[in-house]
Amino acid sequence: RTVLVLNGPNLNLLGQRQPEIYGAETLSDVEARCRTEAEAHGLTLAFHQSNAEHALIDWIHAYRVGSAGIVINAGAYTHTSIAILDALNTCEVPIVECHISNVHRREAFRHHSYVSLAATAVMAGFGTHGYVLAVRHLAHLRDARP
Ligand code: DQA
């Protein structure tokens, strides 16, 4: 089974983008760490990033049924996108919302998340390690299922 890790806008610049907030690791570093974690649990990793809302929605559709779950850092679309919420609401698999930073200690506009309305679980402020923990949690949920 496959776990999808999905990244939204500006996360292609991870490592260069506001490193004081998001850290020095690149998105490829995060992908490698997620792959190691997924494979350690017998899962296959699909890892994608797009700056385009429609591309994120298409990937959600592709994994909405039959996958081990979806880890999504929707970037700023978290706070704006009803379309991504609607796509997540079609999912039959668990969804872990992931934010590198602790959005709750930042600007007020980052405190509301449309993604949270569809998420099984939410990670914020764990840095890039949050992705690894989210993948581990999806493996745990798979094992816990009857
Ligand atoms: C983010 C937090 C969002 O508010 C921001 O727009 C991002 C990244 C995070 O990972 O902390 O792009 O999702």
**Interface predicted TM-score (ipTM) of this complex, two decimals:** 0.99
Residue 100 lies in a domain: yes
The reply to whether 99 belongs to the active site is yes
pLDDT value, residue 139: 98
d(Cα 39, Cα 119) in Å, to the nearest integer? 23
Residue in the structure block whose two tokens are 């959005």: 103
* Number of domains the chain contains: 1
pLDDT digits (tens, 9 = 90+) for 15-55: 999 999 999 999 999 999 999 999 999 999 999 999 999 99
Residue 126 lies in a domain: yes
* pLDDT < 50 stretches in the chain: none
Residue 94 lies in a domain: yes
The reply to whether 22 belongs to the active site is yes
Residue 25 lies in a domain: yes
Task: Please choose from 53, 78, 104, 112 the residue to mutate so as to test ligand 1's pocket, defined by most ligand atoms within 8 A of CB.
Answer: 78
Residue 40 lies in a domain: yes
Q: The domain spanning residue 34 has which CATH number?
A: 3.40.50.9100
Residue 65 lies in a domain: no
100 is in an annotated binding site: yes
Atom number in ligand 1 closest to CA 9? 12
Residue in the structure block whose two tokens are 């998340």: 113
pLDDT value, residue 9: 98
Average confidence score pLDDT of the chain = 97
**In terms of residue numbers, what domain contains 131?**
2-60+70-144
Q: Which of these is catalytic: 63, 77, 99, 131?
A: 99
Output the CA torsion sign for 127, 131, 134, 135.
negative
Residue 95 lies in a domain: yes
pLDDT value, residue 145: 76
pLDDT value, residue 51: 98
Residue 99 lies in a domain: yes
